[in-house]
Amino acid sequence: GIHESMIKDRVRTDAYREAIMLHQKFIEGKVVMDVGCGTGILSVFCARAGAKRVYAVDASEIATQASEIVKANNLADKIVVIHGRVEDVDVEEKVDVIISEWMGYMLLYESMLPSVLFARDKWLKPGGLILPSHATLFMAPITNSDRYEGSVDFWCDVYGINMSALVPLAKKFASEEPSIEIVGGENVISWPFVVKHIDCYTFTVEEFKSITTTYKVSSMMLAPIHGFGLWFEVEFNGPAESCSNLSSDSSPLDIIQKKRRRASDSTVVLSTAPEDEPTHWHQTILYFPDPIGVTQDQIIEGSVTITPSEENPRCLNIHLECSTGGQNLVKDFAMR
């Protein structure tokens, strides 16, 4: 089911296929490693783009089916499927290209980025290609009255029965864990800010252990803030191509101008933003127990810290602080 939803996500799958063809000159006749290959679809794309050899690595049992898919497409002479964690397998040659669909919800949840970095440091040749090459996590306050009314206010009148005693529990449940859902651009009430920009050529595992940023944005409308939304985008740049580093203090104009420049050049961008075509990642929403009212142009500021869980590093702990108009909120979320 997981692999079906990913492959049916045409935004995701077409972006990878387009990026492979865009960078075919770096792939043709070269050695590729597909980290977390799943069904092997990206490995097949690379082989068909002319790769000399593809090492398709996956730790799950899907590797068995990936081997059968490779054989069914007459690519057994090019694609070597390896069942195991990339940290544990043996590959006896360096590779020219690393490709991986490592992104999780809000980019970092259940992310395989540490495995990609391990593969980069162990096997990637100097000047090699990493696809995707860069990733940026964005965040912005959102309003979503329909969602709040449907899950919280709903209990005030249930078939004519007053069940408001359940409202405190409903608020706790709605705000206890991040929610994976689709919101539209109309739900976003300020320009987004950058939580983290990742350059896959230089990013380190140490940097992944704690990500913190402060923010200060201005509300674009009179509305209640029901929480914050997170989404991401990744870019597929060549090894010699630079990517404008979007830092946490990047202005909204910087972000918009960069997006417009990319739309007009040859860079492939996979975006999960609310204003773009939906993907299987949706957006990740951190809901407040109670909404906070803001007026147009009101300043919203605070900080957010994301750390891997000590029990399971693929899960996340999120610490959010928000202050606006004399109202302060401090909230911890566990993404399990």
**pTM for this entry:** 0.92
The active-site residue, picked from 61, 93, 101, 181, is 101
Instruction: Give the tokens for residue 281.
Output: 């990642």
CA distances from 174 to 136, 177, 226, 286, 302 (A): 27, 7, 11, 9, 22
Residue 311 falls in the annotated catalytic set: no
Stated as kind and residue range, the H or E segment containing 279 is none
* Catalytic-role residue among 4, 18, 110, 181: 110
Classify domain 135-142+179-335 at the CATH class level: mainly beta
**In terms of DSSP bridges, do strands 193-199 and 223-236 run parallel, antiparallel, or are they unpaired?**
unpaired
Whether residue 86 contacts residue 121, with contact meaning beta carbons closer than 8 Å, is answered with: no
CB–CB of 138/75 below 8 Å? no
CATH for 1-101 (3.40.50.720, 3.40.50.2300, 2.70.150.10, 3.40.50.150): 3.40.50.150
Q: Is the peptide bond before 132 cis (omega within 30 degrees of 0)?
A: yes
pLDDT tens for the chain, 336 residues: list them: 889 999 999 999 999 999 999 999 999 999 999 999 999 999 999 999 999 999 999 999 999 999 999 999 999 999 999 999 999 999 999 999 999 999 999 999 999 999 999 999 999 999 999 999 999 999 999 999 999 889 999 999 999 999 999 999 999 998 999 999 999 999 999 999 999 999 999 999 999 999 999 999 999 999 999 999 999 999 999 876 655 566 656 665 565 556 555 555 668 999 999 999 999 999 999 999 999 999 999 999 999 999 999 888 889 999 999 999 999 999 999 998
Q: Give domain limits for the chain.
A: 1-101, 135-142+179-335
Amino acid 243: pLDDT: 57
User: pLDDT tens across 96-147, in order?
Assistant: 999 999 999 999 999 999 999 999 999 999 999 999 999 999 999 999 999 9
What is the CB neighbour count within 10 angstroms for residue 138?
26
Distances (CA, A) of 67 to 156, 210, 240, 290, 308: 55, 37, 33, 51, 33
